[in-house]
C-alpha cells in the first residue's frame, strides 16, 4: 500500500496572522524538495487562490471549478479541479465566492447532510487515488488554507487533516486563545471520530527590531508551548518585500522565504 498523503491544515481563528502566506510558501518549499503538493483553498475570500494563481499583471485568475464543486458534486474528478501554480510549483484547488454558501446550498437543495460528515476528507482521498490511477504518482501533501472563523468549512478542513500548523503573530499573541483552541480540539475528538496532531505553532511576522517585546513574547510562547515550537530558523521574520510581492516572488535570498524553506525541511523531517 503506498503511503496516504499527509494532510496539514493551517489554522488560527485570529485573522491576518499569516495563515495563507504560510500555507502557500510552505507548500512551495515542500514541492521544491520533490514531493507533489496540492494547496486546498477553503477560505471564501480566495486569498490563496489569487496569490498563487493570479497573473503577474495583477489580474485575478479565471476559475471555472473550485473546491465548492468538489464538495457538492460527488461525480466530479478532483483532478479536473486542480490548477497548477507555476510560481509555487504546486497544484491548487481554488476557492470561489460561492464557497461561503456551500453548506446552505446542500442543506436546502440536496439530501440532508450530517454536519460532521467528513466530505472534504473523502474528496481529497479520491483525488489522490485518481492521480495515482492516471499517472502512477501519488499526491504527497495536501496543505489546507483554513478560513479564519469557526464554521462548517473550518470543520471540514479540520476533519480532513492529520496535522495542524498554527501560525501566530507575537503582536496579537494570545496564549489563552491557543489553549481555547486545544480545548475545542479535545471536545471535537470526544464527539467525532477525529484525532489530529498539532504539528507546530509557528511565529510569523516576527519583528527583530522590537528588541524587548519580541524576546519577551517568544519566551512566553516557549514557556506555554515549548515542545510545539519548531526550530528558531523557521520563525518567519516580518518582511516588506514578501508582503508587497503579491503577484511575483522575492528572490531566493529573501529572509522570509529562507524561513519557509527551513520550515519545509523541518516538516519533511517530522513525518509522523
* Interacting residues with ligand ATP (CB under 6 A): 15-21, 43, 47, 148, 204-205, 236, 238-239, 242-243, 256
Of these partners, Mg ion, ligand ATP, none, which one is at the site of residue 9 (CB under 5 to 8 Å by kind)? Answer: none
| CB nearer ligand ATP, residue 36 or residue 47 | 47
Binding mask 171-210 for Mg ion (x = CB under 5 A): ----------------------------------------
Grid look-up 486542480 returns: 82
Query: Nearest approach, Cβ of 234 to ligand ATP (angstroms)?
Result: 12
Cα–Cα distance for residue pair 166/164, rounded to 1 Å: 6
- State in angstroms the smallest separation of the CB of 112 from ligand ATP: 30
Burial class from Cβ neighbours inside 10 Å (0-12, 13-18, 19+) for residue 210 reads middle
Is the Cβ of residue 63 or residue 259 nearer to ligand ATP in the bound state? 259
Per rule CB under 5 A, is residue 262 in the interface with Mg ion?
no
Nearer to Mg ion, 39 or 199 (CB): 39
Q: Which does 71 bind (CB under 5 to 8 A by kind): Mg ion, ligand ATP, none?
A: none
186 grid coordinates = 479535545
Residue 127: name its binding partner from Mg ion, ligand ATP, none (Cβ under 5 to 8 Å by kind). none
How many Å apart are CA 13 and CA 178, to the nearest integer?
9
> What stretch of H or E contains 267?
helix 255-269
In the three-class reduction of DSSP (H, G, I as helix; E, B as strand; rest coil), residue 39 is classed as strand
Please give the helix or strand (H or E) that residue 258 lies within, else none: helix 255-269
Name residues contacting Mg ion, limited to 36-95 (CB under 5 A).
47
- Angle 234-236-240 from CA coordinates, rounded to 5°: 150
For 78-227, list the strands marked E by DSSP.
Answer: 83-85, 90-93, 141-145, 163-169, 197-204
Smallest distance from the beta carbon of 265 to ligand ATP, in angstroms?
Answer: 18
As given in the structure block, the three cell numbers for residue 156 are 471540514
Taking the least distance from each CB to Mg ion, the nearer of 47 and 72 is 47
Binding mask 15-34 for Mg ion (x = CB under 5 A): ----xx--------------
| Residues linked to residue 6 through DSSP beta bridges, in sequence order | 141
Residue 123 contacts Mg ion per CB under 5 A: no
Residues lying near Mg ion in the complex (CB under 5 A) = 19-20, 47
Amino acid at each position: 500500500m503506498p503511503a496516504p498523503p499527509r494532510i496539514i491544515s493551517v489554522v488560527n481563528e485570529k485573522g491576518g496572522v499569516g495563515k495563507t502566506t504560510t500555507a502557500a510558501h510552505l507548500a512551495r518549499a515542500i514541492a521544491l524538495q520533490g514531493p507533489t503538493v496540492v494547496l486546498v483553498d477553503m477560505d471564501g475570500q480566495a486569498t490563496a487562490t489569487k496569490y498563487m494563481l493570479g497573473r503577474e499583471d495583477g489580474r485575478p485568475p479565471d476559475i471555472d471549478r473550485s473546491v465548492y464543486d468538489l464538495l457538492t458534486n460527488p461525480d466530479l474528478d478532483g483532478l479536473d479541479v486542480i490548477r497548477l501554480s507555476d510560481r509555487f510549483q504546486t497544484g491548487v484547488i481554488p476557492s470561489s465566492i460561492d464557497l461561503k454558501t456551500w453548506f446552505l446550498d446542500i442543506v436546502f437543495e440536496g439530501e440532508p447532510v450530517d454536519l460532521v460528515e467528513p466530505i472534504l476528507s473523502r474528496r481529497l482521498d479520491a483525488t489522490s487515488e485518481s492521480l495515482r490511477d492516471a499517472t502512477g504518482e501519488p499526491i504527497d501533501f495536501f496543505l489546507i488554507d483554513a478560513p479564519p472563523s469557526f464554521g462548517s468549512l473550518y470543520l471540514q478542513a479540520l476533519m480532513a487533516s492529520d496535522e495542524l500548523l498554527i501560525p501566530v503573530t507575537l503582536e496579537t499573541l494570545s496564549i489563552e486563545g491557543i489553549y481555547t483552541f486545544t480545548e475545542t480540539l479535545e471536545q471535537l475528538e470526544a464527539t467525532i471520530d477525529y484525532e489530529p496532531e498539532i504539528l507546530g505553532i509557528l511565529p510569523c511576522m516576527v519583528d527583530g527590531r522590537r528588541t524587548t517585546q519580541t524576546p519577551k513574547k517568544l519566551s512566553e510562547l516557549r514557556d506555554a508551548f515549548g515542545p510545539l515550537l519548531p526550530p528558531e530558523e523557521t520563525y518567519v521574520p516580518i518582511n516588506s518585500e514578501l508582503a508587497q510581492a503579491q503577484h511575483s516572488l522575492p528572490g531566493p535570498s529573501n529572509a522570509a522565504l529562507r524561513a519557509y524553506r527551513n520550515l519545509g525541511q523541518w516538516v519533511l523531517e517530522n513525518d509522523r
